[in-house]
Each structure stands twice: as structure tokens, then as C-alpha cells.
Amino acid sequence: MNKLLLATTISSLLAGHAMAQSSTEPAKDTSTTKPQEFEQIVVTGTSRERLIAETPQSTTQINEAEVAKLSMSSQADVLRYVPGIKVEGGGGEVATNLQVRGLPSSGQFQFTPLLYDGSPTLSAFGLNSSAYDVYYRNDLGIERVEFVRGGVSNLFGQGSVAGVINYLSKKGTDTAESSVQLELSDHNRKRLDFATSGPLTDQGLYYAMSGFYRYDEGPIDTGIPTEGYQLRGNIHKDFSDGSGYFTLYGQAINDQVQFFLPIPLDADSRERVAGNDGAAVESTQTVNATGMSYATPDGRYITPIDEGVATSGGSVSMEFSKELGNDFSVLARAKYADYDHQFNLFLDGDGIVNVPETQSEYLANRGIDAQQAQFTYAGTNTVLPEDDLLFANRILDRDRPVTDFSSELNIVKYFDIGNFSHSVTLGTFFSNSEAEDNNVTTRYLGEFNNQARLVDLVITDAQNNAVTVSQNGVTGPGIGYTNTTISAQRNAIYLADQMQSDDWIIDIGLRWETLDGTIRREGSELQQISTDASLISDLQSSVGGNGQITHGDVSTSEVAYSAAVLYKLADNFNVYANYSRGFFFPELRGVAFNESGQPGTYESEIVEQAEVGAKFFFEDFVGTVALFKTDLEDRRSVDFINDENGNAVEVPVFQSTEAYGVELVGSYNITDDLIFDANFTYTDHEFTEYDSDPAVIGNELRRKPKVMFNASLRYTLDDWDLSFYHNYHGKNYTNDANTVELDDFHVFRLDTGYTWQLGSNEQLRASIAVWNLFDSEGVTEGSPRLGNNQTDGEAYFVGRPILPRRVALRLRYDF
């Protein structure tokens, strides 16, 4: 952490901020009868604080109490209730698949940056395929989360084509506050959270700190636990003359979680199927694969699969705001992050068959000609029963260390012309990121059960020789190998004017950005690891690096611009419209090299979005209705597809899409104690170009339902509280070919508790939180590695179900 502190202290002299800014404007009058939802202040992606009702774009804010209730494990727990966002949390605590309305994506925040306190968790996406949320976790130190989409919010700072997700941390005040929460859940989950804040001195210096420790053997019991901790904190200084502030943030994380992939399901019902022991198979991951090893030319390789998705390291950042006089202000932010990171996972089959097989099918499907075959549990002489099913699978070990520096510097000028007050921001953004992506793929054989035992196979060939096909469970040592290092440097400059009068709010702006990327990729070769004639040929060789590095540089630049307007049609009715032309730089990991070793073309993807809507607010009801349209041109989508050897290789697909739809959002105070919230999004979407298969043109975008709906009912009576949440996920197709349809499903959540007031500043709340209250069995995706080849009509369907019901008991003490 000393290197982090030193780097950020130096960089803070050069860098800036444009996300959470104060201004020299007079305070706004919020004494009207507008409900609290529309009186909330938005600070993300703007140079002037605004009420939600007066923001000319789609805006959502979730407060501290709701974030704390909704947070069960992953980002999906919170973000699934944001209008227009579809999230899949079936993989567990990290790598949340997130899609924004109208845009194609396999998920993982591809179009939507994930920010904490305005700084990006990582400033460049696509250096590898790890999602932003592997680097940060939520805790009790979150004050609120804001999602702002459209208008000039897409131009500031890191920039975004689809909106900005920004978690804002608590800061200290003159009053010391602390919270401690213990959570206990089924599958032996134990989590301890804390948050504390207050004054450091009486001279405007404050502190805040939060963190957690968690141990978990679920929600699916694989025998490999999830365990780790995170600490976050900030020191905040308000300048004594009221002209601004300085905040220093820090984060340290050492956490490892398990990641769940699709499993074989019943092809007709899409429900889990029974294993050899008669129990429904919840996961094909197995603790028995930990420690799996084999010889290589560089020594013995031992899989780190028991580490799962492991992240250790941290970040430091700073935020500085200062009024300079003459209606000028400067805003600055910088961040440096350094993480050791692995993303080790069990895949969803061996890339050849991918579903359970009988013992005879296993031999036939792989062309193994055997007079006799003996299947035994690895390390024993115990023979498998003849009718026991087998499941061949792969382990993909991915080592992905990353460093990232990002900064912003903004100058804001306030002035009046006629009836309009203007806030003009001239800003810059710079980032430099580097990440490695080193992968080893191992194929193994196991039984079809939960926590499956590994299986050895010895056959007798036509010459009556004993030949080992599976040794200690391994059937393919090192069948795949990649070693890649990618760096990206981004430079941007943007200019925006946010203006308002008594009746009008108008935003205009543009952004120009360049990206320079460097790709270094080692070649691979088949290497001899054994000359033992009793081993099948697959066990005598493995794929490793050949020491030959292909190096390539790519660069591109692009312009984005945006305009938005809001008109106060009446005291309780505002209408608005916005248009933006943005861009997305393709993932650098998808850059291919031609036969002469030169990188292919690298051009930006253009996104055009338009929205018109109305915001209305009465004493007991507030709401928004919006029509939207989104066009994406020349999308370079990168998929992991199984090749003929069972490796998951990256395959770029060029496509264009269009979408349009309607979104409704409302909140109704039925009584002072009973509040109903709901949002509904309907999207009609299709491919308009698809270079590798023109037959796909006109199809719906994969994994994107046309209908999404969320609702919540919150009730408080004296010291009792009850929150009931509903999430509806409409029908969708699992692939671009639209050959496999996934059914719609509902997920319900419950949080209820009782609070004891122990003193003027102390309280104790005991609560029960239930995820997936009715234990729904919806499927969020098929197997992405099968691509358009996955079809209906087979005995099994490879898909990822939503996580099963989970009950947590929480005890929280605030003092």
C-alpha cells in the first residue's frame, strides 16, 4: 500500500474530478410538496447538483437503507431493481452479467462503468474478460447508488455510452456514528460488517471507515468455500472558508469467491436432474479437483482452482474541489489501483459433449476403441457401477494481475446570460491500464454427482495392451494455453454547458477521445511431457508457450456529443428529451493478428440514443414515462466458443442492432407508512447486420427480454418494518440464432425486522432477509460456449439457473 499512497499523492497534483461537484450557485428551494424521491439530489455526471425532477434524463437513486437491505451477495442484488437494467447473478458474488436496455451484451458492465465515489473501478474494459465487480464489494459504508443515463452525464470523466453506475460512500460529520452487523445464513455463511465515521478534529477534518469479513460454503455447496475481507475508508477535509474540500479514499481487499457456470438440466422442464446418487445436481464443480496436477516441461503444474475468483490488493484515490473566485472552480480526481487477480473456474463441459454420458457413450463419442474398459474412482480400485453416468469437464485457470491509473481535471465557469444561468465545464480525462491474461485449460473426467469424485479409465486395446485414458482424473493435461499482456491509454477532452432558467433546463456537450492499445501475445505449441507407451496420446503431451511474442499496437479516436432539454410545463409536471451520439472502443482482447503478424483494423462502435419523457410529481405519487430508441453500429462482440479441441477460444462477431421501447417508473405513498414502487420496461430489439451469418438479421438480441418489471412494497409500523420485492424477467433467446427460448420467471425477496431504541443515538435491529422467497427455478442463460450451436430437442439442456432460496438472519447495532 505504500506504493499506492506515493503514486496517488504525486498524481493528485495533475488529476481531476467531474462527477460529484459543488457550485457557487445559491441553494435551491426544495420546500415544495414534491415527495422525497424527486427532492433527492443527483451529483453523478454533472457540474451542478440537480433534483431528480429537474434532470433531463433517466435517473435512479437507491438510498442507504435500501442498499443495506438488498445486499445479499452480488451487485445483481441491488442493481436488478434499477429501471432498464437486466442483471444476472446466477454466477455468485462476482462477474454480474449486466445489460442496459437496447444494447446487446453478454453482460459484465460492457457499456456501463462501475464507479465508487466517482472513480472507475477499472478505466478500460476488455483487457481481459474479468468484470469490474471483481475488484470491489459493497458494505455498510455505502450512502447511496446513482444510475444516470443519457445527456451530458455520458461525457464526463470516464465517459459512457449507456449510463453511469456510481456508489457514493459515507463521509464523516460532526456527529460520530458507528454500525456493526452480524449475518448468519444457511450453508454456513457468516459475515461481519462494520462502518464508523466522525470528526478527527474540530477544524473540519473527518473520517469514515467500513469493511467486512465473510465465510460462506454456499449458496451452492461445492466443497470449496468463499472467504475474504475488504476495508474501505476516507479522510475528508472541509476548507474553513467554505470554498471547497479535499477527500482521500483508500481500499484494501483480499477475497476469494466461487463462480458458478451453466449445468446440465432436463431439456423439457429446464429443471435440475438427478445424479448417480439420486440427488438433484446443483453444480458440476467439485472439491475433489483441487490439487489436480500433472507434469509439464517447466515442472509440475498444480491447478489453483480452489482459489476461485481471487482478488488481493487495493486502490487509493483523491478528490479535490475548490472555488477560485470570479465564478470559477476547479475540480480534480485521481486514482491508482494495483490488484493481483485470478479468475479460476470450472467450465460447463469438456467442449466436446458437455452433457452427462453413459460409460459406453463416453468411449464411443471420443472414438476410443476398447476391448475392455475399467472405470474406477481416482486413487482407488473401486469400480464404478455400470449404470453410473460420467461427466467430462474442464478447469480454466486464469491469472490476471492489473494496474490502473485514472485522472480527471475540470475547470468550471458560472455566469448568466439573459434569463439563463450557465455552468460551463472544460474537462480532461486520462488513464493508463495494463492487465495480463494467462490461461491454462485442463480436461478431466468425473462422475455425474454433486461434488463429483474423479474417475480413472484404463482400457484394453486391440493389441491387448493396457492403456491409461484418465490418470488421477486428468484426461487432457494443458489442452489450452494463452499468455497475453494488454495495455490501454485513454486521453479525452470534453466541453459541456449546463444551463437553466425558471422554466427551462438545457444541457449540451461534446467529447473527443483517443485510445492507444498495445497487445503482446505469446504463441503456443504442443509439448511432449511423457514417453510412457501405456498412456494414451492425450496424456503424453500438453500445450505450452513457445516463447514467440506477437506484438501489435492499435489506436483510434472518436467524437461524442449530447443535447438534453427539460421544460417545466407546470408546478408538478416536467417534460424532457435527450439525444446522444456516443462510442464504445472494442475490447482489445478481441484484436486478431493476420498471417504477417499485424493487428487487424480497430475502429470505434457508434451508439445513438434518443429519449423523450415526462416527470410528474404530486403529494403522494411521483412517476416518469419515457419513450426511447437506441441504434448500435459496427459492434465487435467477443464470445468464448468451444473449438474442435475443446478449448474456449475468443471469436469476434461483427453486428449492428436497433431497439426502441417504453419505460414507466412510479412511486406511490399509499399511506405515510406504506410505499409502493414499480418500474416497467418494454423493448423491441433486433439485429440489423450480422457479418458471419446474415440469417440472424431480424432476430432478437440474445439474453435480452422484451419485458422487465420490478416492484416493491415497504411498510413500517412503529418499530416493525417489512419490505417485499418482486423482479420479473421476461422470455428471451439464449443465442443470436434464436433457436433456444428461455422461459420467463419471477424472483421474490423479503426483508422484515424489528428495531429496539436503546437510547437517543442507539438502536438494535433484528431482521430476516430471504432471497428467492418461493425458490423459483428460472434459467438466465444457456451455454455461451456453444454459441449458435445450442439447440432444443436433446435429452439435456446446458443452462445456468438462478440461485436457490437463501435465508439470512441479521443483527445490526447502530450507535
The string of DSSP codes covering 102-115 is T----STTSSS-EE
Residue 556, Ramachandran bin (φ over 0: left; ψ between -120 and 50: alpha; else beta): beta
Least confident of 14-18, 305-309, 672-676: 14-18
Give the number of domains in the chain.
1
Amino acid at the residue 96: T
User: What is the rounded CA–CA span in Å between residue 479 and residue 458?
Assistant: 20
- Single out the residue of 535, 580, 648, 669 nearest to residue 129, CA to CA: 648
Segment 542-556, tens digit of pLDDT: 999 999 999 999 999
The residue ranking higher by pLDDT, 564 or 109, is 564
| Cβ atoms of 34 and 622 closer than 8 Å | yes
Helix (H) or strand (E) holding 392: strand 390-399
pLDDT number for residue 583: 93
Total Cβ atoms within 10 A of residue 649:
14
- Single out the residue of 404, 398, 407 nearest to residue 435, CA to CA: 404
pLDDT number for residue 676: 97
Indicate the DSSP class of residue 272: B
pLDDT number for residue 392: 97
Mean pLDDT along residues 138-148? 95
Is residue 646's pLDDT more than 90? Answer: no
Mean pLDDT along residues 121-137? 93
Q: Residue 509: what are its φ and ψ, rounded to 5°?
A: -175, 165
pLDDT classification of 421: cutoffs 50, 70, 90 = very high
Is residue 792's pLDDT more than 70? Answer: no
Least confident of 148-152, 412-416, 728-732, 767-771: 148-152
- Single out the residue of 268, 289, 281 nearest to residue 396, CA to CA: 289
Which residues of 691-744 form beta strands (DSSP E)? 707-717, 720-729, 732-733, 741-742
pLDDT number for residue 16: 31
- Single out the residue of 437, 142, 109, 448 nearest to residue 273, CA to CA: 448
- Single out the residue of 525, 528, 580 nearest to residue 160, CA to CA: 580
Is residue 393's pLDDT more than 90? Answer: yes
pLDDT number for residue 5: 37
Which CATH number covers residue 682? 2.40.170.20
pLDDT classification of 1: cutoffs 50, 70, 90 = very low
Segment 488-499, tens digit of pLDDT: 999 999 999 999
Percent pLDDT > 90 in the chain is 79
3-state secondary structure of 4: helix
> For residue 652, what are the β-bridge partners?
638
pLDDT number for residue 814: 97
3-state secondary structure of 143: strand
Is residue 22's pLDDT more than 70? Answer: no
Q: What domain range is 250 assigned to?
A: 2-814
- Single out the residue of 61, 27, 9 nearest to residue 622, CA to CA: 61
- Single out the residue of 18, 161, 103, 176 nearest to residue 580, CA to CA: 161
- Single out the residue of 307, 281, 469, 294 nearest to residue 391, CA to CA: 281
- Cα dist. 803→219, 461, 806 in Å? 7, 45, 8
Mean pLDDT along residues 805-812? 97
pLDDT classification of 125: cutoffs 50, 70, 90 = confident
Is residue 9's pLDDT more than 60? Answer: no
Which residues of 129-225 form beta strands (DSSP E)? 142-149, 164-169, 177-185, 189-199, 205-216
- Cα dist. 579→105, 324, 562, 583, 630 in Å? 21, 33, 6, 13, 10
pLDDT number for residue 790: 73
Least confident of 150-159, 177-186, 227-236, 463-472: 150-159
pLDDT number for residue 50: 84
Amino acid at the residue 534: S
Burial label, 33 (beta-carbon count in 10 A; 0-12, 13-18, 19+): exposed
3-state secondary structure of 151: helix
Segment 64-90, tens digit of pLDDT: 999 999 988 889 999 999 999 998 888
